[in-house]
Amino acid sequence: MLTYKQALDKVFDQISLLPKLEEQVNLLDSVGRVLAEDVISDVNLPPFDNSSMDGYVIKYNPDIRAWNVIGELSAGNYQEFEVDYNKTVSIMTGAKLPKGADTVIPVENCIISGNKITVSENYALKRGKNARLLGEDIKNNSVAISRGTLIKSSNISLAAACGKSFLSVFAKLKIGVFATGDELVSIDTVPVNDQIRSSNLSTLTAMVNEMNMEPVVFGFIKDKLELIESKISQALSTDIDILITSGGVSVGKFDFMQEALINMGADILFWKVNIKPGKPFLFSTFKIGSKIIPIFSLPGNPLSCFVNFQLFVKQALLMHYGIKSTNHFTAKLKSSAQKGDNKLHFTMAESSFDIEHGYFEVDSAGSQSSGSMSTMSKSDCMYLFPEELTMLSKGDWVECIRI
Ligand code: AMP
Ligand code: MG
């Protein structure tokens, strides 16, 4: 059976063939999208030498510690002053430095008397202190934000300062989703007898949205070979880039997904991965001319379905766009854990930050039954329980993936 790494490599081989089309979006709609252009600055940042403190601006001379105040400058209200040794201008944060000046003494280090100031005895003067120089953050015409950056609110300031009210980002991939199961009813129905609400369809749609991709929902169908075949055919006849299915990939008598895919002409790349939950994951592709549609067939158990999406769909797409920060972190385990197999376990868990010691701690969020939606709902991460181990002790360091 494939290891997680082997399976992910096979998935990525196919995902990396997907097109990377580009589109323009408003700056404020770009958060969560992947930048498809290098953002080039059309100005120097800062655009002029300016003060980083409220204080007095001087022309540095190590031997001078007293000055005459000849005026005042605040941000956006520049006036010409000629600052020479012995002269100073009162200056506010962000104000452009006057001609000749290079250094700012913070107001709290000055002794003011009328229109004269002296610097406090213990203050060490240094040329250039508290002055921010033209272009020291970003030079005009240079790359401010690189193509392939996952845009966060922390990028917006720089993009805006570079005059970008629109950004080119990679277009959303269209991801089709459908579920299978005789037991399924829609979530706005009250289930009776052995029915259950098709929660996976909502989860999958939510995860696609969360990745800033476009979900195309094809609903759910019964466990009938012909129905599954015609649903696959319906989905593949649209312009989707990826297809995700839920249910019917185990070894039950009514698990028809693999057979249906084969009948429809899909190439099965692998079935089953040495992980828990989500072992029965089935991965195939469908060729239409030169287009290849990767098909992720996930188990119906809600936790398996969720974890498979995180491990394969999300991970492979992040790799496709070259996004390095994949939400991996290490944490100290809060309670011991055991397992009796050689699978790689992804334990749904809750993390917390220990401020006193400066590290993350993590604990299982409850029952790891693959049907446990309450555990899933409480979790903010998964921790990895490696193949070769059967025991983890309290205090062990474990790898975690934020979800
Ligand atoms: P399957 O993978 O089809 O064998 O389903 C495994 C388990 O997941 C069964 O208990 C199903 O009732 C449940 N299940 C299947 N499909 C869904 C779905 N769309 N939403 C929630 N649970 C499901
Ligand atoms: Mg089923």
Rounded mean pLDDT of 175-204?
98
Give tens-digit pLDDT for 28-59. 999 999 999 999 999 999 999 999 999 999 99
Q: Which residue's CA is minimally distant from atom 10 of ligand 1?
A: 301
Please count the structural domains in the chain.
4
pLDDT, residue 267, reads 98
Could you tell me if residue 235 is inside a domain?
yes
Residue 159 has pLDDT above 80, yes or no: yes
Using the 8-state DSSP alphabet, how is residue 98 labeled? Answer: P
φ, ψ of residue 317 in degrees (nearest 5) = -70, -40
| 133's tokens | 């120089």
88 and 192 belong to one structural domain: no
Cα atoms in the 13 Å half-sphere on the side-chain side of 196: 14
pTM score of the predicted model: 0.93
Quote the ligand 1 centre to 1 CA distance (angstroms). Answer: 23
197 and 231 belong to one structural domain: yes
Quote the ligand 1 centre to 224 CA distance (angstroms). Answer: 15
φ, ψ of residue 136 in degrees (nearest 5) = -70, -25
Give tens-digit pLDDT for 322-380. 997 678 999 999 999 999 999 999 999 999 999 999 999 999 999 999 999 999 999 99
Angle at Cα 10 formed by Cα 253 and Cα 177, nearest 5°?
55
264 and 348 belong to one structural domain: no
Instruction: Using the atom order of ligand 1, give the atom closest to the CA of residue 248.
Output: 3
186 and 252 belong to one structural domain: yes
Domain boundary, last residue among 272, 294, 320: 320
Instruction: Using the atom order of ligand 1, give the atom closest to the CA of residue 249.
Output: 2
The residue count for the chain: 403
316 and 332 belong to one structural domain: no
290 and 250 belong to one structural domain: yes
For residue 242, the surrounding DSSP H or E stretch is strand 242-246
180 and 279 belong to one structural domain: yes
Tell me which residue range forms the domain holding 349: 328-402
pLDDT, residue 324, reads 77
Residue 123 has pLDDT above 90, yes or no: yes
Find residue 332's DSSP bridge partners. Answer: 361, 397
316 and 359 belong to one structural domain: no
Alpha-carbon distances of 326 from 56, 214, 322, 391, 400, rounded to whole Å: 46, 21, 10, 27, 11
Could you tell me if residue 26 is inside a domain?
no
Quote the ligand 2 centre to 384 CA distance (angstroms). Answer: 27
Residue 133 has pLDDT above 80, yes or no: yes
Could you tell me if residue 270 is inside a domain?
yes
Give tens-digit pLDDT for 251-272. 999 999 999 999 999 999 999 9
166 and 182 belong to one structural domain: no
225 and 354 belong to one structural domain: no
242 and 284 belong to one structural domain: yes
Could you tell me if residue 27 is inside a domain?
no
Using the 8-state DSSP alphabet, how is residue 240 labeled? Answer: -
Could you tell me if residue 395 is inside a domain?
yes
- Give the helix ranges, DSSP H, for 46-165: 153-161
Q: Which residue's CA is minimally distant from atom 17 of ligand 1?
A: 300
Quote the ligand 2 centre to 249 CA distance (angstroms). Answer: 8
Cis peptide upstream of residue 46 (ω within 30 degrees of 0): yes
List the CATH number of the domain containing 220. Answer: 3.40.980.10
List the CATH number of the domain containing 84. Answer: 2.170.190.11
CA 285 to chain centre: 27
Pocket of ligand 1 (CB under 6 A): 179, 181, 183-184, 196, 198-201, 246-248, 250, 252, 255, 299-302, 371
